[in-house]
Chain A
Amino acid sequence: MLLSVASAEAQTVKLPACGAEIRKTSVSGLSSGAFMTSQLYVAFSEIMVGAGIVAGGPYLCAKSWAGNSLLVNATTTCMHPLTAGSGPNTPLLARYAATLAEYGQIAPLKNLEDDRIYIFSGTRDEIVTTTVVNQTREFFKAVGVPEASIRYDRSIAAGHAFLTDDDTDTACALTRSPYINDCDFSQAGAILEQIYPGLKSPARHRDDSLIAFDQEEFIDSPYTSMDDTAYAYVPTACRSGKSCPVHVVFHGCRQGSHFIGDQYYARTGYNRLAEANDLIMLYPQVRPSSASPLNPDGCWDFWGYSSPDSPTPDYFTRNAPQLRAIHKMIARLAEPRS
């Protein structure tokens, strides 16, 4: 698998048009990837059928409190607030989302009403605490997602990590790089089963289905901190004519390929489920940046770094630099095969 990936990286290709079924798109992510998940999901809900948020706070979280800067909110209120009362300001965020939808800056919130959402918080997670993740559920309820459509799992004594059933991964309760923990639990499976009920069991990962593609062609801003290369897993059936849904997977901080190689995009369990169920996996990538934008840990933008000189950065509407780029990738996958 490593040899195949090395070969793939040496042969970065153009993201192919696969005739994907764009109206069944979904998204999931961990940590900053989870915040990004909410942003992509809410902004483009017209093409979405569900989302998986692992250790992430509600949409627009960094805008919770006007007296704090976005960065301060992002790193305190949205991660580990001192008290529950200083956590995310969910009623305000829900009203703000409604206003954005009213002005057409994000898709109408009624699109969310028939979707299915998975939310997870590890009880040993001290990076993004359960206090914050609780508000993610409250946010989706406030914007109209029925409670029965939300699966919120707080049952596992996991650290801040994506969970697998691979005993070569980090011990379940720890919080350390690469933030992929063995908790005898396939989180990829749980997310995808919640979004697309009735999945088949995982199949064998096929090396020739994993591609490295040129991500740069989708980026039109110099401040996205997005990497030149990203990855996608396109199962055999999806390359052979079938119109497959796309699932976007966002890594967390320090989990892009620059930091941990292929561990997130090749070894978290998504691809085996993709192969068995004819789902296209899209793995956008962020790389660290030490200046303009300042993003040393290679996080997805949930506080505005992608607009470094603006006091009112846009990282959360359809026009946000990173969201625009990812939407273009999804649109490319949905283009008819040539």
Chain B
Amino acid sequence: MDADTANATIDPKLSEALKHWNDYASESGRNARLIFEAMTPVNDSLQIVRQVMESMQYGGWSPTGMPWVKPSVLFSAYQELTEIQLAAQEKESDCYIRFLTTTLGSGKQVAEAMQGASTPQQILASYLEAGLSIARQYQADASEHASALGQIRSAYNVWLQRTLENLGHETVEEPTPAAASQPAASPPPASAAEPAAGKDSGA
């Protein structure tokens, strides 16, 4: 460091831009930790296995001996699958458009941000702030895409469950759009319900 740089001061805007990036990094770290903690594959698998077994038990259906060829059920299943496919494609398309919009606008955003900057530090500050804004936009786009993928996956799971249940019904009947097995009810817990007050509490 020479005599000139020893006395150089940091432009307040650059200092602020650096702080904003630091805050963003901290925030991203926290969000990543939360996402990691939300992922509980073992617990989720146990939950789903139990739910499916209860559903099969109370629904009175099993994979063996099922009359798999039911034209009305298959037709309804294909219809619903088509609906899901079309909706999924529309969602994916919307997400890609969002990404493209962010990308196409990023260059202009940076150029506009740097207008009016008169010193190298101010130019750098403007560039950093614009870059942060673009990063946040991409992050929002990614979150939206992740949400859309979750919706699509859930919809396919629902379709599969409903189709299997409809195929597994013993009686040959036209399935209703929301037809499902008997509820997965649990036996009563050890603790009893509270005493009645007013209307019937069920005690």
* Interface residues, chain A, with chain B CB atoms under 8 Å away: 22-23, 44-48, 63-73, 75-77, 80-83, 85-86, 89-93, 95-96, 98-101, 103-108, 110-111, 290-291, 294, 296, 309, 311-312, 314, 317-319, 327
Q: Are A107 and B84 also in contact (CB < 8 A) when A67-B160, A76-B151 are?
A: no
Question: CB distance B34 to A294 under 8 Å?
Answer: yes
Report the bound CA distance from A86 to B83 in whole Å: 11
Residues of B35-61 contacting chain A, CB below 8 A: 37-38, 43-44, 46-48, 50-52, 54-55
With both chains docked as a complex, state the minimum distance between the C-beta of A274 and any C-beta of chain B, in angstroms: 21
Chain A residues within 8 Å of B52, by CB = 66-67
* Binding-face segment, B4-12, B67-75, B96-104, B181-189: B181-189
Question: CB distance A69 to B150 under 8 Å?
Answer: no
Partner pick for A85 among B43, B158, B186, B196, CB 8 A cutoff: B158
Question: CB distance B54 to A66 under 8 Å?
Answer: yes
Report the bound CA distance from A48 to B162 in whole Å: 35
With both chains docked as a complex, state the minimum distance between the C-beta of A334 and any C-beta of chain B, in angstroms: 8
Question: CB distance B199 to A318 under 8 Å?
Answer: no
Q: Are A82 and B178 also in contact (CB < 8 A) when A95-B183, A105-B193, A311-B50 are?
A: no
Chain A residues within 8 Å of B143, by CB = none
Partner pick for A82 among B38, B44, B155, B192, CB 8 A cutoff: B155
Question: CB distance B38 to A294 under 8 Å?
Answer: yes
Chain A residues within 8 Å of B189, by CB = 105, 314, 317, 319
Chain A residues within 8 Å of B47, by CB = 69-70, 311-312
Report the bound CA distance from A47 to B51 in whole Å: 31
Question: CB distance B177 to A85 under 8 Å?
Answer: yes
Report the bound CA distance from A69 to B38 in whole Å: 12
Partner pick for B158 among A48, A68, A101, CB 8 A cutoff: A68
With both chains docked as a complex, state the minimum distance between the C-beta of A309 and any C-beta of chain B, in angstroms: 8
Report the bound CA distance from A76 to B147 in whole Å: 8
Q: Is B26 an interface residue (CB 8 A)?
A: no
Report the bound CA distance from A327 to B80 in whole Å: 42
Report the bound CA distance from A291 to B52 in whole Å: 28
Report the bound CA distance from A99 to B162 in whole Å: 21
Chain A residues within 8 Å of B159, by CB = 85-86
Report the bound CA distance from A153 to B100 in whole Å: 38
With both chains docked as a complex, state the minimum distance between the C-beta of A260 and any C-beta of chain B, in angstroms: 19
Report the bound CA distance from A110 to B201 in whole Å: 10
Contact flags B164-203 to A (C-beta < 8 A → 1, else 0): 0000000000001111111111111101111011111111
Report the bound CA distance from A114 to B141 in whole Å: 47
The range of chain B's interface size is 35 or more
Question: CB distance A66 to B48 under 8 Å?
Answer: yes
Report the bound CA distance from A111 to B162 in whole Å: 32
Contact flags B126-159 to A (C-beta < 8 A → 1, else 0): 0000000000000000000000001111110111
Report the bound CA distance from A75 to B44 in whole Å: 14
Question: CB distance A72 to B150 under 8 Å?
Answer: yes
Report the bound CA distance from A53 to B114 in whole Å: 49
Report the bound CA distance from A22 to B159 in whole Å: 44
Partner pick for B184 among A44, A96, A290, A319, CB 8 A cutoff: A96
With both chains docked as a complex, state the minimum distance between the C-beta of B148 and any C-beta of chain A, in angstroms: 8
With both chains docked as a complex, state the minimum distance between the C-beta of A321 and any C-beta of chain B, in angstroms: 12
Chain B residues within 8 Å of A75, by CB = 150
Report the bound CA distance from A95 to B54 in whole Å: 14
Partner pick for B183 among A47, A99, A104, A106, CB 8 A cutoff: A99
With both chains docked as a complex, state the minimum distance between the C-beta of A90 and any C-beta of chain B, in angstroms: 6
Report the bound CA distance from A99 to B150 in whole Å: 30
Report the bound CA distance from A296 to B150 in whole Å: 19
With both chains docked as a complex, state the minimum distance between the C-beta of B12 and any C-beta of chain A, in angstroms: 28
Contact flags B17-44 to A (C-beta < 8 A → 1, else 0): 0000000000000100110011000011
Partner pick for B44 among A69, A81, A83, CB 8 A cutoff: A69
Q: Are A104 and B202 also in contact (CB < 8 A) when A68-B157, A92-B180 are?
A: yes
Q: Is B113 an interface residue (CB 8 A)?
A: no
Report the bound CA distance from A294 to B202 in whole Å: 33
Q: Is B88 an interface residue (CB 8 A)?
A: yes
Chain A residues within 8 Å of B151, by CB = 76, 80-82, 86
Question: CB distance A91 to B34 under 8 Å?
Answer: no
Report the bound CA distance from A230 to B185 in whole Å: 34
Question: CB distance A81 to B155 under 8 Å?
Answer: yes
Chain B residues within 8 Å of A103, by CB = 185-188
With both chains docked as a complex, state the minimum distance between the C-beta of B131 and any C-beta of chain A, in angstroms: 24
Q: Is B161 an interface residue (CB 8 A)?
A: yes
With both chains docked as a complex, state the minimum distance between the C-beta of B154 and any C-beta of chain A, in angstroms: 4
Chain B residues within 8 Å of A110, by CB = 200
Question: CB distance A77 to B188 under 8 Å?
Answer: no
Question: CB distance A82 to B184 under 8 Å?
Answer: no
Question: CB distance B44 to A71 under 8 Å?
Answer: yes
